[in-house]
Amino acid sequence: MRDSALTRPPRRAVAAAAALAVLALAGFAAVRSILPPAARPDTAAAGDFSAERAFAQIRTIASRPHPAGSAANDTVRDHLIDTLRGLGLTPQVQDTVSVQGVALSSSAGGTSLARVRNVVTRIPGTASTAPVFLVAHYDSAQSGPGANDDASGTAAILETARALTAAGDRLRNDVVLVLTDAEEACLCGAKAFVDQHPLARSGGVVLNLEARGSSGPAIMFETSAGNQDLVDAYAETPVPVGTSFAVEIYRLLPNDTDFTAFREAGFRGLNSAYIDGAAVYHAPTDTPEALDRDSLQHHGENLLALTRELGGRDLAALDDDADATYFPALGVLVRYPGGLVLPLAILALVAVLALGWLVRRRGRASGRRLVAAAGLALVPVVLAPALAQGLWAALVAVRPEYAGMPIDPYRPLWYRSAVVALAATVVLVWFVLLRRRVGAAALAVGGAFWLAVLGVPLAILTPGGAYLTTLPALAVALSGLIAIHVRPLAAVPVIVAGALVPVVVLAPTIVMLFPALGMPMAGIGAFLTALLGLALLPALDLAHPAPDGARGLVALRDRRLAMVPGLAAFVAFLVFTATGLAVDRFDAKHPSLTHLMYALDADTNTARWLSEESEPQEWTTRYVTQEPAEVAATLPAFGPELLRTGPAPAASLPAPAVTLVSQAPSAGGRTLNLLVEPQRTARFVTLHVAAATTVTAATVGGRAVETGTVAGGGWGFGFVFHAPPAEGVQVTLTVQGTGPVQLRAMDASDDVSAMPGFQPRPAGVGVMGSHSSEMVAVAKSYTI
């Protein structure tokens, strides 16, 4: 690293151009390597995975919404059974009641349960050491047909099973297909399999498939603890795309999948999903036509390869003591033991400090300048994310409908590019303004210093993400230590080699991070882009037109010339933003998303509209007029959730019936046997007991339920039962005391458009992908 790396302008210009071209090509190749492979046709070899063959299954599975317990879901289940039998397998239906797989937002109304009907079958191995479980859920949210979530995972498993049976190459280990029910409701299908199915008793390795969008690479984003051997196996897939940083992020998000129930029960495994195009998530637009078949190919191709890899291993010998750090780089999955994370972070910090010491000793920068540069390096790291968040706030102000999108707009690429260009503008302008005053060498050391410093707490707190700063800092420091000892021309390839590491490490992560967190968290993408810019300062300095010490008119002219890249980045930011606003417009195929519910109080025969929109859109304001408030007093299933409300005409709808079947005295109270029966087709039914009555034990649908207190509305014990059977739900409550017991029952269907007073949404206005969208609730009080 030299302040004037090359002294002859022509040679400097050529070397700089070549260096930047190499880095640009490396960035392109790094990003290109994580994109999904092209979909294979239905003429692909019988033993290969074909997205076209799998897509034919998706057309059938996702022809309409099919939540757990619906007639449409019964049709899907019958299709799955017929398909598996056609492969020569013997599927069985696990028909049972299960409690929730994990505490969900619906748990505000008490424990969730469901009647589930999992489809399970086994492909026997030759000498199984442990099963390989292929898991996906076949139910959809009630608000959409679920072509991506999770018909894609279900179809990928069916096509994988077809390829395994068609190839005739029996694997060593059993392969068990677990197509779960009621995932969208409460993860109850996975919980039922883990707790109750005989095939789950011996444990094994779980490969779960999900989707939270409609496109993008299939990312392996979650693992069980002690993942090193499993990550090694995943690295053998055709296009391994996964990062240990994703595991760290996922742990911070309020999301769960079927994998959660398996992981918490001690199963080992990997969880994969494609997540871009999230505007269709749970929405009516999650149709087969919205699905990117390349993403489906990636999903299934990796699943088939990983099943064959694990199917041939001794799974009992897998090491479960060590975690790996891993990330994609130019088509391979780089990985190293978790035990090296902290030593590498410390080494990177020591290397950067050594570089600073050497730069000062060689007279490239004074100690004062090095300290100043370290402080000033925080400016782009803080300013770029702040401006990115400001950009999103401005976009929402211009287009308020964005606030109702679940994660991202329909066409977020232009806005993501704008965020990257904005962060690049900040770094480039900052560098040019400070280069002559502080010095390029000092700024480069200051930037690398913060990368290295960040690596240490990351190594301690989130070790899976420490590589993002540790490896770039270490590469920049080592290349600088070498470059400062060689001739100026020879320093160029050394500097470029050091810059390749942050490009290859950070560029794919930035691309994966944007859809993972969405534009509402654009600041994190800008933060990583700014870190990448700081790591590239030595390479950027190669293209600077004048040495640091230039004075007078020459320096002024060259500084203006040096501003050109920053100005170009800013122009790109404006162009990308304007293009995003121009192309990402709402229409019939890409509607703005609105949320509306209807609730009837059968006690008073009064009704109201409800919406969870924090800032209601114009269409929603026709129905809800009041500020957000709790509704738990009359709708305890919503717990402390705040909803907007407005008066609605009362519909003629039957309330759920609660019948006292029998009662008997118990110690300090009595035991009540109840039957809760929806009187109409309902997706779920709830029952709550007034807080004045203490419930000491409860059984719902034959399953013991915890009796904790539910916050809000004066209600205590309660539960939510999804997919209730036609004959109703049997409930046993043991209560203290012998006085009257106040109960509140509610059921819910999904036909808000049939309610009196409803006006159809106009073109360009659609349904939000929420578990309560379009819900019609009827509640009634009982005294036992």
Task: Kindly report, residue by residue over 138-152, the tens digit of the pLDDT.
Answer: 999 999 999 999 999
Q: What are the start-end ranges of the E strands in 517-666?
A: 592-594, 597-601, 606-611, 629-630, 642-648, 657-666
Residue 259 contacts residue 269 (beta carbons within 8 Å): yes
Last residue of a domain, one of 329, 347, 365: 329
Q: Is the pLDDT of residue 670 over 70?
A: yes
pLDDT number for residue 248 = 83
Task: Examine the domain organization and report whether 156 and 261 are in the same domain.
Answer: yes
Radius of gyration of the chain (CA): 30
Domain boundary among 268, 296, 329: 329
- The residues, any chain, with a CB within 8 Å of residue 16's CB and separated by 6 or more, are 6, 542, 543
Residue 646 lies in a domain: yes
Q: Is the pLDDT of residue 8 over 70?
A: no
Residues 289 and 323 in one domain: yes
Q: Say yes or no: 497 and 637 in one domain.
A: no
User: Closest by alpha carbon to 215, among 510, 514, 589, 592?
Assistant: 514
pLDDT of 492 reads 87
Other beta carbons within 10 angstroms of residue 548's beta carbon come to: 19
- State the pLDDT confidence band at 752, using cuts at 50, 70 and 90: very high
Residue of higher predicted confidence among 713 and 735: 735
**Short-list 359, 364, 373, CA closest to 449:** 373
Q: Which domain holds residue 147?
A: 51-329
Return the minimum-mean-pLDDT range out of 59-68, 361-370, 651-660.
361-370
Segment (H or E) for 461: helix 440-461
Among left, alpha and beta (phi > 0; psi -120 to 50; other), residue 282 is left
Render pLDDT for 592-641 as a digit per residue (tens, 0 to 9): 999 999 999 999 999 999 999 988 999 999 999 999 999 999 999 998 88
Whether residues 207 and 236 share a domain: the answer is yes
Is pLDDT at 578 greater than 90 in this prediction? Answer: yes
**Residue 4 located in a structural domain:** no
41 occurs within a structural domain: no
Rounded percentage of the chain residues whose pLDDT exceeds 70: 95
Higher pLDDT, 72 or 707: 72
| CA–centroid distance for 34 within its chain | 17
- Whether the link from the prior residue into 3 is cis, omega within 30° of 0, is no
Phi, psi values for residue 366, rounded to 5°? -80, 165
Q: Residue 349: is its pLDDT beyond 60?
A: yes
Are 325 and 360 members of one domain?
A: no
For residue 670, the SS3 value is strand
Q: pTM, whole model, 2 decimals? A: 0.93
pLDDT band at 12 (very low <50, low <70, confident <90, very high): low
pLDDT surpasses 90 at 33: yes
| C-alpha to C-alpha distance for 677 and 660, rounded to whole angstroms | 12
CA distances from 335 to 30, 162, 233, 505 (A): 16, 32, 11, 12
**352 neighbors 456 (Cβ within 8 angstroms):** no
Alpha carbon of residue 436 to chain centroid: 44
Look at residue 167 in the predicted model and tell me its pLDDT: 73
Q: Is residue 1 part of a domain?
A: no
According to the model, what pLDDT value does residue 713 have?
78
Q: What is the pLDDT of residue 554?
A: 42
156, containing H or E segment: helix 153-167
Asked whether residue 388 is assigned to any structural domain, the reply reads yes
Three-class HEC string of 742-769? EEEEEEEECCHHHCCCCCCCCCCEEECC
N- to C-terminal Cα distance for the chain? 82
3-state secondary structure of 322: coil
pLDDT at 534 over 80: yes
**CA–CA gap between residue 652 and residue 725 (Å, rounded):** 23
* 555 confidence band (pLDDT: 50, 70, 90): very low
Mean of the per-residue pLDDT values for the chain? Answer: 93
pLDDT for position 3: 44
**Which of 329, 348, 383 corresponds to the end of one domain?**
329
Same domain, 430 and 316: no
| pLDDT recorded at residue 7 | 45
Which pLDDT score is estimated for 50? 98
Check whether residue 567 and residue 629 sit in a common domain.
no
Give pLDDT, residue 10. Answer: 62
Query: What token pair was written down for 416?
Result: 């993501």
Number of domains the chain contains: 3
Instruction: With beta carbons less than 8 A apart as the criterion, state whether 605 and 783 touch.
Output: no
Q: How far apart are CA 323 and CA 134, in angstroms?
A: 22
Instruction: Give me the pLDDT at residue 9, please.
Output: 54
pLDDT band at 711 (very low <50, low <70, confident <90, very high): low
Task: Mark whether 555 and 609 lie in a shared domain.
Answer: no
Q: pLDDT grade, residue 644 (50/70/90)? A: very high
Q: Does the structure show a pLDDT above 90 at 334? A: yes
Assess if residue 668 is contained within a domain.
yes
Please report whether residue 42 resides in a domain. no
The torsion angle over the Cα atoms of residues 400, 405, 408 and 414, rounded to 10 degrees, is -30
Query: What is the distance between the alpha carbons of residues 249 and 247, in angstroms, rounded to a whole number?
Result: 5
Amino acid at residue number 706: E
Residues 378 and 429 in one domain: yes
* Residues 223 and 295 placed together within one structural domain of the fold: yes
Residues 210 and 291: their CA atoms lie apart, in Å, by 13
* 2-11, 86-95, 189-198, 735-744: least confident range: 2-11
Residue 57 within any structural domain of the chain: yes
Cβ-in-10-Å burial (0-12, 13-18, 19+) of 6 comes to buried
pLDDT digits (tens, 9 = 90+) for 367-410: 999 999 999 999 999 999 999 999 999 999 999 999 999 899 99
On whether both 440 and 490 belong to a single domain, the answer is yes
Model confidence band, residue 2 (pLDDT cutoffs 50, 70, 90):
very low
| pLDDT at residue 487, rounded to an integer | 82
Which strand (E) or helix (H) includes residue 533? Answer: helix 522-535
> Can you give the CATH number for the domain in which 281 is found?
3.40.630.10
State residue 321's pLDDT score. 80
**Domain identity same for 563 and 608:** no
User: Alpha carbon 195 to chain centroid distance?
Assistant: 26
Nearest residue to 755 (alpha-carbon basis) of 592, 597, 594, 593: 597
Q: How does residue 227 score in pLDDT terms, banded at 50, 70 and 90?
A: very high
